[in-house]
Chain A
Amino acid sequence: MKADSLRSRWFLAVAPLSIVILFVLTQFDFVPLRPGGTVEDLTSLKERDDVNVLFILIDTLRADRLSCYGYERETSPNIDALARNGIRFANHRSQSSWTKASMASLWTSLYPARTGVLRYSHAIPEEAMMPAEVLREAGFRTAAIWRNGWVAPNFGFAQGFEFYTRPVSKNLPREARRENPAVKLPGSDLDVARSAEEFMRTLERDERWFLYLHLMDVHQYVSDLESARFGTTYSDFYDNAIHWTDRIIGSIVDTLRRRRLLDRTIVVIASDHGEAFLEHGTEGHARNVYGEVTRTPLIVSLPFSLEEGIVVETPSQNVDIWPTLLELLDGTPQPESDGRSLVADIRWAAKGRQSTGEERLQVSHLDGTWGRMNQSPYQIIGIAKGRYRGISNNGDDELFELYDLETDPDEQHDLSDVLVEKASEFRSWVREYENTLDSPWGAREIEVDDMLLNQLRALGYQIE
């Protein structure tokens, strides 16, 4: 009785206060956001023990179709918002135009010639030190929710992940449609977004996590009526799919906001390659290394909001992503790396300057016969430096291409016969890339079973 009456008195004291607090809260939109910050606060990330990493890989996304990269259509309001108060890398490239080779480079921070992952039966070996392993070692919970068969566990991509899951739901949501009829992947990225929230729901508040989401709806050209606002050509539907995916990204950011994780999560948006629309006579990707399939976005949103977003113009590459993130988190760097941390470039850019010094190379590499077991390799290597980009086609000097990216950003006018010396210079860099780089572990081949082959063919790839 005494306990009841005490409780009762306590209750009478607290309840009115609760009413007042509730009343006050409802007068404002009190949804926890991010605090403001500046580039100087980058250093503070190392000292924190509560920062998570959400790595969103949007398969097949080319940078120049995002509004924040200058596209005239408003395809990406949510991604733009992240860039607006975060960091955008304006001159960024992927290391290949084919998912497996590109992702192997992204995760290992090594160029394709060094990962040894160039053909469909290649896999990342156990010796590779993947970021997930580094972070798991550092106490992060690590999970991946993926939908592209090229990053399946048997290709070595699951290393370091506690959970490596592919959500396989049978159908698209009723309201969504898939334009690219060449692709028969079940489900949609909505499954990924919802799975991400379920993953977060299993964690305690003080558990740090690294979550990798591999989204495929741009690759599949999924859209619904609301996002199908840009027309009806094949290229229009690609834009429609970006808008659809952007809405899903928005919902994921909302999840972070609702779960009060926005102020403790670094969000990274990247892509493995772009998509061609006949700029060089082909559609799709994984056929060559022109700009339309290698110029990809990189956006980093921090646990604090920058009043003015930072735009880094210095050339950057996917192999730079993890050296950068690991430096920000004070994580153990990967033992071998062809990339470098971009933190210094970010600081320069914040001051309105771009980093000086030697012009960086940007390398993109595709084995043109990656899907044909019985054909010899055909190495297509693109190297950009400064205003020029050279593309080597299997080392054949007659077929070497050179472009002036300042006057010809779309790489339509080959200058290799005009700027002969420059072409020669770039050819030598290609040779250097091919000859002096050694894979730390050599190529590892695996047997790809029929089931997986069929799944990959269902993505629209021709594998013979």
Chain B
Amino acid sequence: MRKGLIVATTGFLALATTACKPLDPVAEVTELARDGDPAAALQRARELLDENPNQSELQILYGDLLVGAGESVLAVWPLRKAASDPEYAVPAGLALAKVLLATGNADDSVVAATEVLRQDSENETALAIRAKAYVQAQREVEALEDLDRLLDKDPDRLDTLVTKLTALLELERATEAAGVFDDIRARLDADPDAYEPEFRGRMCVVEARFTLESGDQEGSKSLIEACLKQFPVDPLVLRGAVEYYLGAGRPERAREILEAAHRLAPEDPNIRSALIQRLEKDGFLAEAESMLVEAAEGGAGSANSSFALYDFYWRHGRFEEARSALEDAMSGIEDVPTTIALAYADTLIEVGELDRALDLGRDLEPGYRELVIGRVLLAKGDAAAALESFESGIRAWPDNATVRWLAGQAADRLGRLDQAAQHYLETVRIEETEKRPDRTDAAWRVARFQEAMGFFDAALNFVQIHILHNRFDPEGYKMAARLGSRLGSQEIVRGALLTLANLEGQSAVALAMQAGFIREQAGPRAAIDAIVDSGLDLNDAANIAALDAVIEFEMESGHRERASRRAREALENARDSADLHALYADLLRRIGMRAVAEEEFSKAIEIDPDNVRALKGQARLASVQGRIDEAVRLFDRISALEPASLEAAYEAAKLLLRDPERTTEAEGRLSALLVKDPLNVAAARDLAVLLFSRDGPTPAALAAATRAAVFGDASALELKGRIELARGDGRSSVETMKRAIATGRTSGATYYQLANALLSIGRDSEAVSALRSAIESGGFEEVEDARNLISRIEERLEIVQSGTGS
């Protein structure tokens, strides 16, 4: 009611006002715009045009306002409307042609400009716009006609000459282009002061580039040097000169040029920045850092220099220094932009100030906020909350590769391997399209997951992406070869192994892999022949991988003596090779000569105390002999020497599992291992067994078992099924046991467990069936119990049936 009265009164007042004073729409809107309220001007223009669209002058004004408001895309409509009015065809048409050109609609701009020229054939503005539109539309021939018309009217139009030069270069009409350039240069030479220095510098560089493209290297070089002499601190000249010398393979000259420019203009931030980048790229890190520090401590522009310094430290992993630099940079800024706040939060996380980072993150806008909070939560070990945060962030920022990758990390920690793989896959999709130079390892992770799942085709796609960006990583080629073998593609296997062989130190590895594939097809003898026939010197310690393979195949064929002889021969040839001593020692260990093996391992360690092969052998010996502490210590040493290789870490954890007093330590090690290697399902299985036996069917035990079972391993599935049953989840247990049975690699025990699960959910007759299968399969202890169960159930079922009176 009250609203109605207010509106009515307002309406009355409005009516009263309009009845007294007729308004010129254009004047009204212009006034609003002049009053500094463009939004109101636009709104009023819309209202007026909605009443009557046939107000051409107002349409032009409206179009102008839209352009001014950054809405050029919308401005075409009122301008088109105005241009259809003969009285306004020219001004509206010109405005329309300009807007269409600015919004990338070159062909439409040509049409609009042509329409103006139909009305006014000598309109130079229309000609100029149309010429530019033709160039933009790659219709250079037509552009030249217009450009020549303009030059006929005024030969001194420098911008027209430059456009003509561009068009001729696009058409590869080099001679004519040279003529135009000469014309431009003549004007510059005649009256250099009439032209801006930037323009003269630009033309200088253009001439040099021109000369280079015509094949005259020396001429181009002379011109570059002349430009530098004339315009030593001009940014375009400097850029052109630096590019030239980098292209000529002379980075040192490029650096000299920048150093000279910096000496002449020490306060120029762009020159300083270019020089610092050059120094860094050329490996002069200390000099680059020194310049950055000096600039950051300086006066004007020091905030930007502090940011540059922060960037430098961040790139080189010096996070504490990065934080200081960023704090210096931020100290002068009142309203810190989001990207900088994000960078600061990242830095705080890297230096371990998680709570501060969290506080900062909470104030950021969506997308950024979840990224920071998620990172903090992940660092604090709360993977579930981190994943939730990252997934929120993904909704706000779906094409952010970093947040996707981090979501994958969080999912990995939770054992949700397929979810992790999905996030990594999306990361790869984004990185591939954006062609980022700094990539994550997402492609590798997806490839490993797909390989483990048996999706070899898909895995191959991803490992190829990994290889493309990691050309010197042997693991990529090894996986490609494995996948090629699985897919039956000799071409892929050959290609991968050939490339692997060409990597430094990998020729023997490649040969050994190839032999491995031959062994699968044709047996160990054929594999040995392949290696021997290759001509590779097996007595050279550098080829130990191939010798290893030969020894392995000899042992497999039962030729221990031959294996031993090969090892001894190699050792005779290189008594100072710790690796060969270790190889021989390992062989001795395998054939039971432990005492001699110990001696050989000791010799290897004497030569090289950090020899991983020898340490591993000693650790295994110690383990077999029950010296668990010693074995664990040795494996830990190997982990420290080769942090990327997780095999030793797993070995150590497994040893600790044997000691009931050290299961907590084993648990910690297995959990840490799974963070680094989420796909280590064997470790997950061991962890599940430990937790189940020690703590019962806890959520942690189930999570570990679920992770262990993700690739369909029968024993892992059976374990998961037992834990589910123990948790009272019979239904899930039944499904899991059936999956285990479907692998075809189970025994009667699995059927027995299935029967128990079926009984728990009242599916008695199916349980009987499962029990019978268990007995038939054998291989489990509770056979008598199974038989008794069958009798009891069948008795119960008979009672039930007779009870129903059928």
Contact = CB atoms under 8 A, between A and B. Distances in A.
Nearest to B393: A232
Nearest to A241: B398
A19 B12 contact: yes
A167 B103 contact: yes
A202 interface: yes
Interface stretch (A22-30, A42-50, A59-67, A310-318): A22-30
A194 B53 contact: no
A15 B12 CA distance: 6
Contacts of A181: 399, 429-430, 432-434
B76 A26 contact: no
A113 to B, nearest CB: 31
Nearest to A233: B422
- Scoring B107, B395, B432 by chain A CB atoms within 10 A of each residue's CB, the highest score goes to B395
B395 A232 contact: yes
A259 to B, nearest CB: 8
Interface residues of B, number: 51
A202 B77 contact: yes
A221 B53 contact: no
A449 B138 contact: yes
A23 B399 contact: no
Contacts of A177: 367, 396-399
Interface string A56-84: 00000000000000000000000000000
Given A23-B8, A168-B105, A237 B398 contact: yes
Nearest to A194: B74
A364 interface: no
A195 B77 contact: yes
- Scoring A18, A182, A232 by chain B CB atoms within 10 A of each residue's CB, the highest score goes to A232
Contacts of A27: 4
Contacts of A6: none
A445 interface: no
A180 B429 CA distance: 9
A407 B104 CA distance: 51
Given A15-B16, A168-B105, A182-B433, A198 B77 contact: yes
Contacts of A166: 105
B108 A165 contact: yes
A191 B73 contact: yes
Interface in B1-54: 3-5, 7-9, 11-12, 15-16, 19, 46, 49-50, 53-54
A187 interface: yes
Contacts of A259: 50
A228 B8 contact: no
Chain B contact residues, majority secondary structure: helix
Interface residues of A, number: 51
A199 B398 contact: no
Nearest to A14: B15
Contact of A19 (B9, B77, B107, B391): B9
Contact of B8 (A22, A153, A203): A22
A178 B397 CA distance: 8
A168 B73 contact: yes
B429 A23 contact: no
A351 interface: no
B201 interface: no
B394 A232 contact: yes
Interface in B263-306: none
A169 B77 contact: no
B634 to A, nearest CB: 45
A168 B12 CA distance: 44
Contacts of A198: 74, 76-78
B707 interface: no
Interface string A190-228: 010011001101111000000000000000010101001
A228 B395 contact: yes
Contacts of B422: 233
A204 B54 contact: yes
A234 B50 contact: no
A202 B76 contact: no
A198 to B, nearest CB: 4
B353 to A, nearest CB: 29
A451 interface: yes
Contacts of B53: 201-204
Contacts of A187: 73
A201 B49 contact: yes
Contact of B77 (A180, A201, A229): A201
B433 A163 contact: no
Nearest to A165: B76
Contact of A201 (B46, B104, B399, B432): B46
B80 interface: yes
A195 B12 CA distance: 35
A179 interface: yes
Nearest to A229: B395
A11 interface: yes
Interface in A217-272: 221, 223, 225, 228-229, 231-234, 237, 240, 259
A237 to B, nearest CB: 6
B399 A179 contact: yes
A255 to B, nearest CB: 11
Given A15-B15, A179-B399, A181-B430, A163 B8 contact: no
Interface string B388-410: 00010011111100000001000
B81 interface: yes
Contacts of B108: 165
Contact of B429 (A182, A195, A223, A449): A182
A345 B432 CA distance: 48
Given A15-B16, A187-B73, A178 B103 contact: no
B548 interface: no
Nearest to A154: B107
Interface string B89-131: 0000000000000011101100000000000000000000000
Given A168-B103, A169-B73, A182-B429, A26 B7 contact: yes
A7 interface: yes
Interface string B406-438: 010000000000000011001001101110000
Interface in A172-188: 177-182, 184, 187
A177 B8 CA distance: 44
A181 B428 CA distance: 10
Contact of B11 (A18, A168, A231, A232): A18
B100 to A, nearest CB: 9
Contact of B15 (A18, A169, A182, A199): A18
Nearest to A20: B8
A363 to B, nearest CB: 32
Nearest to B390: A232
Contact of B80 (A153, A168, A202): A202
Nearest to B1: A27
A146 to B, nearest CB: 12
A204 B16 CA distance: 28
B366 interface: yes
Nearest to B136: A451
A284 to B, nearest CB: 11
In the A-B complex, the 8 residue pairs with the closest CB atoms? A198-B77, A228-B395, A179-B398, A181-B433, A202-B81, A167-B73, A22-B11, A23-B8
Given A19-B9, A221-B398, 6 more contacts: A11-B15, A19-B11, A187-B73, A198-B74, A225-B366, A229-B395
Interface of B: 3-5, 7-9, 11-12, 15-16, 19, 46, 49-50, 53-54, 59, 71-74, 76-78, 80-81, 103-105, 107-108, 137-138, 366-367, 391, 394-399, 407, 422-423, 426, 429-430, 432-434
Interface of A: 7, 11, 14-15, 18-20, 22-24, 26-27, 153, 163, 165-169, 177-182, 184, 187, 191, 194-195, 198-199, 201-204, 221, 223, 225, 228-229, 231-234, 237, 240, 259, 449-451
21 contacts: A18-B11, A19-B12, A22-B8, A22-B12, A23-B4, A163-B80, A165-B76, A168-B104, A177-B367, A177-B398, A177-B399, A178-B398, A182-B429, A194-B71, A198-B74, A198-B77, A201-B49, A223-B395, A232-B395, A233-B422, A451-B138
